[in-house]
Structure 1
């Protein structure tokens, strides 16, 4: 049985992942009159560059090509590949979004709007939908319908592994999903402002900075996935530190943009 506390944390994470982006849009629209177009461009760029183009590369490198797939069984090579892939696709996507779809929108509030869209849709698709799936699966397990409902669609080994994760994991693990999304949205807003600052001042080196920072941000998660980091709380602590640094940058960047000429 999946505990009621676990399901409660899943619900909290789902609500947090869905509500946070909408709350940020509402707040910044009311206070700064942010561009909804910039928010939507952030959403579109994330979907196209991260969920379509990057996944196509992953399919080829990790599945289709046996040479690269074998090479990437090395956890350290996988870490570098995964971090750089995310960094290149998402940051180049940000750059293209600002350069071509949001011409003339180079104010601090425009970077905020784009970052909310980019990080917000990730929050919904990853944190929100994952938590929703976990809630559905947990109810199926507790009602005794899990194997009967999913048995024909999912290999039995994967089904049992998923069931054990839901039953045996600490309830707090499911609460972390929502907290993680809050931290990630903060990070995405900061990177959006960094890339926009480079576009605004015609300094493309800021795109390289963003790619490297993004890759470094993803390294701990990749090491956890490959078992090199055993304790998930180490990863979460690193994400918390990065989010706090991102928040400080977001606040200070407002002054940077105000002093920078268009």
Structure 2
């Protein structure tokens, strides 16, 4: 089999756009919001530890190693509740701890916008998700597609079982320009949500709110409910993506207005 050149180009462009989005935003906003690179690194580290290590280890135990839990989660409603909560708890606890540490540092720049640390952290956290969950995965499929077009894929996958090789071929056969567009939309929306959740958490931590952690966990869980419902085959993908696009636009508008007002206040002081 082979992947059409148009599909390969679209997938490559979508992957490149997702890869460059957090980098370009960091470079563009670094000076206006007086970013501290340590805040962004903290966001990357928290996602890497709490989402890719702790959350995956918990999911592996609950879904594969514990028969009782796995059986209970075979119920679609239970799976949706678990899937929405586990990401919220793991990521928001990590975000909360990191921002408590960030908040202890003295301001670096006089009259710097108050949302700077939240935005810098959010770009790191959301950028790490964009790369780990999106870019690196799609790069693998791009490589597989190139190998398939050269007739070298089966040789490259010779160490896998026949079922795994067949699965790779089926996924490659399903790739299309539409798939590339859906991938870009989903990753951009996820990035916007992560930045929004980071600003929300930063505002709560900065204000000394004791309820910000459960509020952030609930907000994160609500964001993850549609994706969990799709995984449980309760709703179609088009409905989930449409909802995410609308919600991401709303969050982006709120972030833009909030951060623009913060910059105006900082300049006026």
Q: What's the TM-score, normalizing by structure 2?
A: 0.89
Q: Specify the alignment match of 1:242 in structure 2.
A: 247
Within 5 A, what are the aligned runs for 1:15-34? 15-34=16-35
1:189 maps to 2:206: no
**1:221 Cα deviation after fit:** 1.3
**Bigger shift: residues 143-152 or 108-117:** 143-152
* Alpha-carbon separation, structure 2, partners of 1:247 and 1:207: 22
**1:136 Cα deviation after fit:** 0.6
Q: Secondary structure at the match of 1:227?
A: coil
* Alpha-carbon separation, structure 1, partners of 2:178 and 2:201: 35
**Bigger shift: residues 107-116 or 140-149:** 140-149
**Bigger shift: residues 198-207 or 184-193:** 198-207
Closer/same/farther in 2, CA of residues 149 and 59 from structure 1, 3 Å limit: same
Moved beyond 3 Å, runs of 4+: 252-259
Give CA-to-partner distance per residue, 1:34-60, whole Å, 9 cap, x none.
111100001111111111111111111
| Contact 2:33–2:116 (CA under 8 A) maintained in structure 1 | yes
* Alpha-carbon separation, structure 2, partners of 1:95 and 1:252: 24
Q: Specify the alignment match of 1:176 in structure 2.
A: 182
* Alpha-carbon separation, structure 2, partners of 1:221 and 1:128: 19
| Contact 2:185–2:245 (CA under 8 A) maintained in structure 1 | no
Q: Specify the alignment match of 1:131 in structure 2.
A: 138
Q: Specify the alignment match of 1:76 in structure 2.
A: 77
**1:93 Cα deviation after fit:** 0.9
1:224 maps to 2:240: no
**1:169 Cα deviation after fit:** 3.9
| Contact 1:13–1:128 (CA under 8 A) maintained in structure 2 | no
* Alpha-carbon separation, structure 2, partners of 1:162 and 1:250: 39
Give CA-to-partner distance per residue, 1:61-84, whole Å, 9 cap, x none.
011111111211222211111110
Within 5 A, what are the aligned runs for 1:84-163? 84-104=85-105, 107-152=114-159, 154-163=160-169
Q: Secondary structure at the match of 1:31?
A: coil
* Alpha-carbon separation, structure 2, partners of 1:169 and 1:125: 20
* Alpha-carbon separation, structure 1, partners of 2:162 and 2:223: 34
Q: What's the TM-score, normalizing by structure 1?
A: 0.91
Q: Secondary structure at the match of 2:32?
A: helix
Q: Specify the alignment match of 2:110 in structure 1.
A: none
> Aligned Cα RMSD in Å?
2.0
Q: Secondary structure at the match of 1:30?
A: coil
**1:256 Cα deviation after fit:** 7.4
| Contact 1:38–1:114 (CA under 8 A) maintained in structure 2 | yes
* Alpha-carbon separation, structure 2, partners of 1:211 and 1:35: 25
| Contact 1:10–1:134 (CA under 8 A) maintained in structure 2 | no
Which consecutive unaligned segments of at least 5 residues does structure 2 have? 108-112
| Contact 2:103–2:205 (CA under 8 A) maintained in structure 1 | no
| Contact 1:62–1:68 (CA under 8 A) maintained in structure 2 | yes
